[in-house]
A and B are shown apart, each in its own frame.
Chain A
């Protein structure tokens, strides 16, 4: 039987397999949002690439189900320890496992970051500046919006205003609540996107059927994940995706350059993949964990950690969920959870007593997730739980997506506990600071106000966090950051990090699109540098220039529509 990626697409076969003795050009650790794009670009450019993935290589027809509980395997369920004053829930909340990584279970909101996000320290005196500007990344935003391709309004008014290649999705009940509530308060909103979900069919991917199971992996193939958007093209161009390969250590040569990755295979046997350069794309927890676990003489605090900032400046966004009960029926399970939003409160407002801001977005919890929210938001249990859940179809849910600043004490470190391979697991410490608390309080109250303005008769909220970025941040100064603006570690010339962990700040935008755009840019840099990456220690910081000829099939549109 062929390996299915949605109802129409199959995985190219056979896939190239490298031998244990082969020295490949690039070994990429982790095939998620960043790893998927990187492996596709590098393979197309002719490099020999192996990408290691700790989890499954999904066959979407066999392995995925339209069912909440049955989708447990999509998440990184292995043990991690979480602590601090505001410990983060991990697992299903923010961590994917398997080819496609988090892009398999993301809700797929894909707003761009705003130009101000790249200059937070300059503009607000808090957080950090990025070593690049919005304008450096803009062509990559546009390129990835076409490769995904993104559906959304023709006019997105915030940040750098722009349009989207595919038309917006029809409005569901929850989106209607957001638009109504915002409109009644004079707040601008948009609906139908921007989401990485097809509103019309595209190549061998069908359009959305509005079944609401986005977070459980899109069997339809309408929601983009790198599993279906970039990995097939990578394989067609000679890359190997090696699933069930859990990286345990990056190997360092005497000359201070890395020469491969040690990993455990499916049987738990230790193996070694030789490579001329290594890119770690394990996301904000596993990336620092792998680098910390790779400590060796000369790098006793972990690889690429001469700054001491590895694992630090971890960020999650405030993700408070506001639930409102309406007299009329909503049926919040229909339509994609992600389909309407407002970024009216995104930027710093001198009239408020905190820096930066938040977005307001639709969310669409299915029954199990909604019941858990009722446990947290209302203290529901017993007959009270049965009663509130019988009203499931009367509730709508909106989310705050608030910017929490990068703080040194929010960090990933190694715990005492070991995993099934004997590797120390990650310990994640998270604390809210004064600015964060004020922002969350304001954002939560504003979204509750919007919910009430939409006509909800009862409004409750649950405090939670969404997404994970930072912990291997990029910067110009090697003493305060882990990687340079192309993801190259300051310490080791042929070791790169490319994933959400390199973000210096996070804005109030879902990070997926930005992660993919950064990956495409890093790929262009590596391709431009060519062989010099493998033997030279010279660090070229010139922009590579964007390549428009490396996109997957069917995605070479002429441009991104823009009205006005």
Chain B
């Protein structure tokens, strides 16, 4: 069972069953595939067409993380068949124990961290609302997750005494955004030009589109009314230094 909650246009109307959210209607990075090199074609096509099964998580853990991921990287606006697989990518990483090159000294190994978090989140749901996390309303699920985001687990749980909640949150977000924004459907959503070898780009300035890109067609929209995941005025979480190892910047 997947619970849903829909964002809506500022001008009225729920955003649901969308083949392609975002402001770049008609733009398709995959339509440009024939212009990419062979190795890139294969990597990106496999990502779209070959979704691996769940091996690392137990059935119960998988159900929990489906619900968690549906809230931290929600896709309720996307049409059936156009949602981006996130849990399979996370499960595959953990199953292969594929690391990102380091572990914080105060963190357990990644695999163990996810198992511990699954236990903690389920216990928090039971304790606060007397129900399993996946069965909670979207709003209640978000309340629990927001407490993790804020670094103040409510209710507190023994797991967070030994595993720093902000580090787990950063790892969870990193895994989720990596799966989502590495998918060509997300590139279409945000208007990213995608792979560009051997063709390259020619219009570098003033945000101009390539002939095969689209101009932005902007509209205002809001998160579902029951959502607490929009940034508040305070914005950034407490300063923790660099939490992740993104692909370098300098």
Contact = CB atoms under 8 A, between A and B. Distances in A.
Main SS at interface, chain B: loop
Contacts of B73: 382, 385-386
B200 A464 contact: no
Given A68-B182, A209-B197, A334 B203 contact: yes
A140 interface: no
Contact of B102 (A71, A81, A106): A81
B105 A427 contact: yes
Contacts of B168: none
A376 B242 CA distance: 8
Contact of A387 (B38, B106, B230): B230
Contacts of A69: 47, 178, 182
Contacts, number: 310
A68 B187 CA distance: 12
B211 interface: no
Nearest to A7: B198
Contact of A90 (B101, B191, B192): B101
Interface in B163-189: 170, 173-174, 177-178, 180-182, 186-187, 189
Interface in A1-60: 7
Contact of B230 (A70, A319, A367, A383): A383
Given A66-B195, A95-B101, A387-B223, A466 B249 contact: yes
B101 A76 contact: yes
Nearest to B150: A379
A99 to B, nearest CB: 17
Contact of A210 (B99, B201, B223): B201
A379 B237 contact: yes
B196 A211 contact: yes
Contacts of A321: 249
Interface in A357-410: 361, 363-373, 375-390, 392-393, 397, 399, 401
Contact of A67 (B43, B145, B204, B245): B43
Contact of B71 (A216, A319, A382): A382
Contacts of A361: 250
B40 interface: yes
A552 interface: no
Instruction: Count chain A CB atoms within 10 A of each CB in B7, B181, B191 and give the residue with the most.
Output: B181
Nearest to B221: A387
Instruction: Count chain A CB atoms within 10 A of each CB in B174, B200, B242 and give the residue with the most.
Output: B242
Interface stretch (A143-151, A166-174, A229-237, A485-493): A166-174
A379 B232 CA distance: 9
A390 B190 contact: yes
Nearest to B22: A390
B48 interface: no
Contacts of A464: 241-242, 249
B104 interface: yes
Contacts of A382: 71-74, 142, 145, 223, 227-230
Interface residues of B, number: 82
A209 to B, nearest CB: 3
A91 B101 contact: yes
Interface string A505-519: 000001000000000
Contacts of B244: 89, 372, 375-376
Given A61-B39, A464-B249, A389 B190 contact: yes
B101 A80 contact: yes
Instruction: Count chain B CB atoms within 10 A of each CB in A78, A83, A364 and give the residue with the most.
Output: A83
A91 B247 CA distance: 9
Contacts of B98: 72, 77
B99 A375 contact: no
A212 interface: yes
Give the interface size class of chain A. 35 or more
Interface string B38-78: 11100110010000000000000000000000011110000
A158 interface: no
B74 A330 contact: no
Interface string A438-471: 0000000000000000000000101111110000
B229 A383 contact: yes
A63 B224 CA distance: 43
A319 B103 contact: no
Contacts of B181: 367-368, 370-371, 389
B206 interface: yes
A62 B38 CA distance: 8
B158 interface: no
B36 interface: yes
Given A62-B39, A319-B250, A393-B190, A329 B207 contact: yes
A510 B103 contact: no
Contacts of A67: 40, 43-44, 182, 195
Contacts of B228: 382
Nearest to A176: B205
Contacts of B43: 65, 67, 70
B190 A334 contact: no
Contact of B40 (A66, A89, A373, A390): A66
B100 A91 contact: yes
B249 A363 contact: yes
B149 to A, nearest CB: 6
Contacts of A80: 101-103
Contacts of A427: 105
A92 B247 contact: yes
A310 to B, nearest CB: 21
A176 B203 CA distance: 13
Contacts of A379: 149, 231, 235-237
Contact of B249 (A82, A365, A388): A365
Contact of A467 (B23, B38, B235, B250): B250
B37 interface: yes
Instruction: Count chain B CB atoms within 10 A of each CB in A317, A376, A382 and give the residue with the most.
Output: A382
A463 B202 CA distance: 33
A287 to B, nearest CB: 16
A107 B182 contact: no
Contacts of A105: 247-248
Contacts of A371: 177-178, 180-181
A321 to B, nearest CB: 6
A418 to B, nearest CB: 13
A368 B204 contact: no
A545 to B, nearest CB: 34
Contacts of B79: none
A401 to B, nearest CB: 6
Interface in B68-124: 71-74, 98-106
Given A334-B204, A392-B192, 18 more contacts: A65-B37, A69-B182, A93-B101, A171-B204, A172-B204, A172-B205, A210-B201, A211-B199, A211-B200, A215-B248, A334-B201, A367-B181, A375-B244, A378-B235, A382-B229, A388-B231, A393-B191, A399-B250
6 contacts: A93-B242, A329-B207, A331-B207, A371-B177, A375-B173, A383-B223
Interface of B: 7, 21-23, 36-40, 43-44, 47, 71-74, 98-106, 142, 145, 149, 170, 173-174, 177-178, 180-182, 186-187, 189-209, 216, 221, 223-224, 227-231, 235-237, 239, 241-250
Give 7 closest A-B pairs by Cβ, nearest first: A91-B101, A382-B229, A329-B207, A209-B200, A83-B105, A66-B195, A383-B223
